[in-house]
Amino acid sequence: MNVNNKKTYVSRAIQSALLTCMSTAAIAEGELETITVTANRSEQAMVSSLSSQYVITRTDIEKIQPHSILDLLKNVAGFDFTQQGGIGQQSSVFVRGANSNHTLVLLDGIRLSSATLGTTELQTISPEQIERIEIVKGPRAAIWGSDAIGGVIQIFTRKSTNTTISLKTGSDGYQQAAISASLTHGDGRSTLTINKEKSDGFDVLASAEEDDDGYDYLSIALKGQQSLSKQLAVDWLVQTNQNDSEYDNAYGGNNEAETDNYAWLARVSYETKLSGMNNFTTVSLGENKDSSRNFKLGSDPMFDSLFETNRDQFSVVNHSALNSGVSVTVGVDYNIEKIDSSTAFVNEERNVLGVFAQTSLEQDSYDLEAAIRFDEVEDLDSETSFNLSTGKELTDTLRLVASYGTGFKTPTFNDLYYPSGVYSSGNADLKAETSDSAELILQFQQDKLTASVSVYKTNVENLIQWQADANFVYKPQNIAKVNIQGIEAEAQYIAEYGTHNVNFSINESVDDTTDKQLIRRSKEHFNYSFSTTVGDADVYVEYQYKGKSYDEDFVLGRLTLPSYSLLNLAVSYPITDNLSVNGRISNGLDEEYQSAYNYNTAGQKWYFGLTYSL
């Protein structure tokens, strides 16, 4: 198959819905080429991708009308979730059975996570702020460094060409007001997005206070870009989220918490052509601040529980493309991580340096990729990660991709430097958690049907567990090992009256010592969605099934959480060219279920809103 035929294959097949990546609206409009940047940190057509990817666009967000970002991710094959209550409460995302801290979360290239817990609270990012989400499943440590064992989720801040105002109300006293405004300045544009919402919430913990646990949330984001010449451009981002939430305190006392997240980014991009080779260089400087404060005794700050992460980030990435189908990407990342806490940690700062190189070869019927990265973490052993991938077009409608990669997760400040106490202590001798993964992907497309099957296997070693010694003092140790294997099958069918998306996944994440499935991770998942237009109304329906999972209780031991099904419906109708009315029903069957033992989940909820565009 020659290169031109290959591009036809893209437009007919993978680009139309590789792993159901592309929004059905874009497909209907004939926008058949999808460009992503997360997999290799350079622009790449989906035909060249040798990884499992999934893309959620702004069109998808407006169609689904999500209540939180988790509503956007729950339909992704290989994703599992727990929610310990509603928005403002703790949630966890498990990608392909890996731990919740084994998924790297980025915001426009900025690394987000708590340096003490090692996780990212995704619910602090409002869908109103999001333009696009790119998901890469499988190890990507050779490109991004620590955390990218299960995958990478990169969130791109909203860009707009007009002004949009929306108002919404709903169950549990829910109220929302949002505005997204665009300003043109010469050869550039900036978008300001403000979102304010609050809710009375619902009772979170079944065994504690019988009250509603509400939240009050505000997010502000300013994103912009400016072309200075044909070769030179700059872009920037300033974003802040603040959430005041209530929770149930099983031990009595105060039940209020505050989370603040702040990020800024300044980036310069420069494009040159030397000796027939195109070069694209980006230099980025940014910061992420993640703060969580628990008001233990009311308003007295002396007794507050504070954990705050400040991460200064600097990176330089250069992508060079040759006419022969060969490209090379090299880069340097340098982060300074600092924590500020009401707990006196033994060490409160460390530097992280990473350098990487990635090369791609695209030929008529096959593709090759190789990447390697070296990370130096202060006071810890260095880590070297790599990825190898190849893709082969078997026929005009069939493609096979094979990949192998390694990953690692750096111990957190809690793991390493938590101060010694009567019952617990950090362990400065810990090593990084490490993984190796292999995957086969078979992709098929014919006419309006696109399908894919992915089979993967991952081994994670040196997992950190807090273990008690003879004196009942808990200390983290590199003692656990997990064997993960799974299969994901996905299909999209563009019918005359609408688009069907379906996926099914089986995941076995087994503790090597106990030979039992890891807690809060189901083996079976099934998702189906259908979108269509009835008259002038856009209709979206989704069904989600999660098989039984397990959890652990200090008194009761290992418990079984039953399987459950969720049915959601969203409708949007244009009253005029500028004004539309929209509504969503979540958990339409009013299913009672738990994704974490003893924590309630939302029953049937409704939301109704108006959107006005200028």
Q: Which amino acid makes up residue 106?
A: L
Residue 27, classed as helix, strand or coil, is helix
Instruction: Read off φ and ψ for residue 435, nearest 5 degrees.
Output: -145, 155
Q: Which of 185-194, 204-213, 247-256 has the lowest mean pLDDT?
A: 247-256
- Using the predicted structure, report yes or no on whether residue 259 has a pLDDT greater than 50: yes
pLDDT tier at 277 (50, 70, 90 boundaries)?
confident
Domain ranges of the chain: 3-613
Q: Is 63 left (phi over 0), alpha (psi -120 to 50) or beta?
A: alpha
What pLDDT does 170 receive? 96
Task: Sheet containing 103-107: give its strands across.
Answer: 52-57, 130-137, 151-157, 103-107, 110-112
What pLDDT does 438 receive? 98
What is the rounded distance in angstroms from the CA atom of residue 315 to the CA atom of residue 267? Answer: 9
Q: Give the residue-averaged pLDDT of 18-34.
A: 40
What is the rounded distance in angstroms from the CA atom of residue 241 to the CA atom of residue 589? Answer: 32
Structure tokens at 270: 């420069």
257 to 100, 210, 288, 303: CA distances (angstroms): 22, 18, 20, 13
Query: Per residue, what are the HEC states of 60-123?
Result: HHHHHCCCCHHHHHCCCCCEEEEECCCCCCCEEEEECCCCHHHEEEEECCEEECCCCCCCCCHH
Q: Which of 47-56, 298-307, 396-405 has the lowest mean pLDDT?
A: 298-307
Q: To the nearest whole number, what is the mean pLDDT of the chain? A: 89
CATH 2.170.120.30 fits 3-613, yes or no: no
Nearest-5° angle of CA 251, CA 241, CA 255?
Answer: 15
Of the candidates 564, 557, 566, 556, the residue with the CA atom closest to the CA atom of residue 595: 564
Q: Give the residue-averaged pLDDT of 115-138.
A: 92
What pLDDT does 6 receive? 38
- Using the predicted structure, report yes or no on whether residue 495 has a pLDDT greater than 90: yes
pLDDT tens for 143-200 read 999 999 999 999 999 998 899 999 999 999 999 999 999 999 999 999 999 999 999 9
pLDDT tier at 11 (50, 70, 90 boundaries)?
very low
- Using the predicted structure, report yes or no on whether residue 508 has a pLDDT greater than 50: yes
pLDDT tens for 355-409 read 999 999 988 888 999 999 999 999 999 999 999 999 999 999 999 999 999 999 9
Of the candidates 416, 115, 411, the residue with the CA atom closest to the CA atom of residue 290: 115
What pLDDT does 48 receive? 73
What pLDDT does 445 receive? 87
pLDDT tens for 518-573 read 999 999 999 999 999 999 999 999 999 999 999 999 889 999 999 999 999 999 99
What pLDDT does 1 receive? 35
Q: Which residues of 451-481 are buried (b: 16+ CB within 10 A; e: fewer)?
A: bbebebebebebbbeeeeeeeeeebbbbebe
Structure tokens at 601: 């989940």
Q: Which of 82-86, 126-130, 494-498, 513-517 has the lowest mean pLDDT?
A: 82-86
What is the rounded distance in angstroms from the CA atom of residue 445 to the CA atom of residue 273? Answer: 37
What pLDDT does 239 receive? 96
What pLDDT does 304 receive? 67
What is the rounded distance in angstroms from the CA atom of residue 480 to the CA atom of residue 551? Answer: 18
Q: What is the per-residue DSSP string for 254-266? A: --EEEEEEEEEEE
pLDDT tier at 30 (50, 70, 90 boundaries)?
very low
Residues forming a β-bridge with 213: 202
- Using the predicted structure, report yes or no on whether residue 19 has a pLDDT greater than 50: no
Chain position carrying tokens 């969605």: 529
Higher pLDDT, 569 or 421: 569
CB 327 within 8 A of CB 290: no
Chain position carrying tokens 């590789």: 18
